[in-house]
Structure 1
């Protein structure tokens, strides 16, 4: 029964994803950093920075699914949740946009390394199917959303749980901070690629960061609340799978 309910929820998320595929218009100024927007040197740099995390994430996922194949459904749920949330965009600044990321939930359940793989696959599908982001900028977008965000969210979750043992607060903070960190890193990426004529990289970072903050702070709060609701649902209907994931992540740390 629990597996059926979880499957139904996953299919609901997948259905919404299909709706987005056929109804979301692609634009050149769409999600994430768009195709061709970064200079070639910086695009290559962010690819190089991202790939080690992707490789380590694949190794981690292979071990997780080999030891417990039943966890594949939760992996799919994490990917669908990330795809749907990160496909909801609000125009923010030339070459990019603001949106939820959905990576905090996966970082809590799976750890940050697997989200490097899941998040990058989500970004690849969005680039190919929705014209959101691009292939040349995939390394930069994946580093900000699939690496920096999950690591920051996971660290926030662990810190708050250790200090307060308040799980809902920890889940909320993980999702919100993963969202905000994605845009801090995106602002850095845009700033170093396009330093301001007056003030250089720092002035450019303040410009990009302040524009993102207008839309991103309320989006991060909303994502945190939604993630808490979904976390409570998972605890009610899939406690066995969550306990397996906890043992997996503890084993990876030891």
Structure 2
């Protein structure tokens, strides 16, 4: 489970539509999807390599816990991902506004899940999503009243000054989650377009540290709780692996 969540957070930082914070940063930056990926892939490849090296030894000691899964082969997720990726890059080559790509991708997401809404309702973690929305709303409101106070601390992160930028995203993301942390930087700071993908890398990798770091972590904990898996040991392992996976963010 730790490996799955960690690899999810790393890989989701690659593309403009990989996760919520990337969508925010991509829309803000106005960069093409190709340019966005060109500025994210190098540190993420390094993070994948370091994470794999860190996780491999643990597989010999922690044992294996079987989780009941549906083994029925289903091509729909792969078709959906391929369709969305092709569409996003094609629309960017045609100089279509990014908002069109976003809207079309969300529409396709609903279309691909339309036949299984019952399953979607059972599996969807409303509590985690509401927690995320509450954090984002709180950050937005706080930014209005505390912008003058926070600006000196946020601006260096917003402009991508290392190691401050990575350290800032690491700390803040693991206090209020990486999506609200990204919202804070975009609201208070002035982010140059080419820095947005770097912030995406930092926020994505910062989500690997603790349970509140990303929505993927919250969803994974909910699955583990339902399956009766050991949560405390998993959180400790996630912390250790997450620190290793985050190191490339300092060179983003």
User: Under a length normalisation based on structure 2, what TM-score does the superposition of the two structures give?
Assistant: 0.30
User: Under a length normalisation based on structure 1, what TM-score does the superposition of the two structures give?
Assistant: 0.30
